[in-house]
């Protein structure tokens, strides 16, 4: 096996033994529970498209940025906590392999959350309609469009993941990563209509629900390409400097 494959295998082994999987399950479940009760409290059925878009909006607008903030801090603390970075960086493995494995692991967990939401949200809507037939959603559900939307939100979130992971890995204290994540999410919420939102990492994902397709496409490009560039810069910079 290549050294990167080994690093990736070790990283996923650590993730399975951490609280990361609990977070992966909790975030989409909370959204689905909200959607379930929101449908149940209604007086008449709403269109499937609106209900699915609502779940995707909650995910992109608030839960995704906060989940990424907590997830990256948790993943980085796996080494920060026991002060294991010196041991890892002394191994006969290219340093960037260690950080690249971290990045792949976090992206895989975010993708897993997106996939879980894609299953739980429609199930929550269906369950609410079964309990209260009068609020059964109208129209035919376009699940392929919903999955495509969640996929674009995931790709648009790469820059967000890269920024948060870089900060979480850079500082041994979890405070800087949490402060940046909470602050970024706060400004994304209170300034949701600002033009700068198309380049703000915490606000880029919600642009996938924009009514202007050009804005959504530009945000997708910035999030994906910018995320790739940020990941590359993180791998280079973290490989040549020490953790504080």
* Model confidence at 244: pLDDT above 70: no
| pLDDT score at 241 | 67
Q: What percent of the chain has pLDDT over 90?
A: 61
* Model confidence at 242: pLDDT above 80: no
> What is this structure's pTM?
0.92
| pLDDT score at 123 | 97
Residue with tokens 């992206």: 107
**Cα gap 144→164, rounded to integer Å:** 30
Report the mean per-residue pLDDT for the chain. Answer: 89
- What is the tens place of the pLDDT at every residue in 114-159? 999 999 999 999 999 999 999 999 999 999 999 999 999 999 999 9
Average pLDDT over residues 158-165: 96
User: Which residues are CB-neighbours of 117 under 8 A, at least 6 positions away?
Assistant: 27, 28, 31, 32, 55, 56, 59, 150
Neighbours of 139 (CB within 10 A): 12
| pLDDT score at 81 | 62
Which of 225, 193, 220, 190 is CA-nearest to residue 205? Answer: 220
How is the chain split into domains, by residue range? 3-152+166-183
């Amino acid at each position: 096996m290549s050294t990167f494959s080994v690093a990736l295998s070790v990283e996923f082994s650590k993730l399975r033994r951490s609280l990361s999987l609990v977070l992966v399950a909790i975030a989409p479940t909370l959204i689905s529970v909200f959607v379930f009760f929101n449908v149940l409290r209604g007086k008449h059925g709403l269109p499937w498209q609106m209900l699915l878009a609502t779940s995707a909006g909650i995910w992109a607008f608030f839960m995704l940025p906060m989940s990424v903030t907590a997830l990256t801090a948790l993943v980085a603390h796996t080494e920060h906590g026991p002060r294991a970075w010196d041991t890892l960086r002394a191994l006969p493995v290219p340093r960037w392999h260690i950080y690249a494995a971290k990045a792949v692991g976090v992206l895989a967990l975010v993708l897993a959350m997106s996939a879980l939401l894609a299953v739980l949200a429609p199930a929550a809507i269906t369950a609410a309609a079964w309990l209260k037939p009068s609020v059964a959603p109208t129209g035919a559900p376009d699940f392929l469009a919903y999955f495509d939307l969640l996929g674009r939100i995931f790709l648009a979130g790469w820059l967000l993941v890269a920024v948060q992971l870089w900060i979480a890995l850079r500082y041994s204290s979890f405070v800087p990563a949490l402060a940046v994540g909470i602050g970024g999410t706060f400004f994304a919420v209170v300034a949701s209509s600002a033009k700068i939102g198309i380049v703000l990492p915490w606000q880029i994902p919600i642009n996938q629900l924009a009514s202007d397709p050009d804005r959504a496409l530009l945000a997708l490009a910035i999030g994906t390409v910018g995320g790739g560039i940020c990941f590359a810069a993180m791998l280079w910079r973290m490989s040549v400097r020490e953790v504080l």
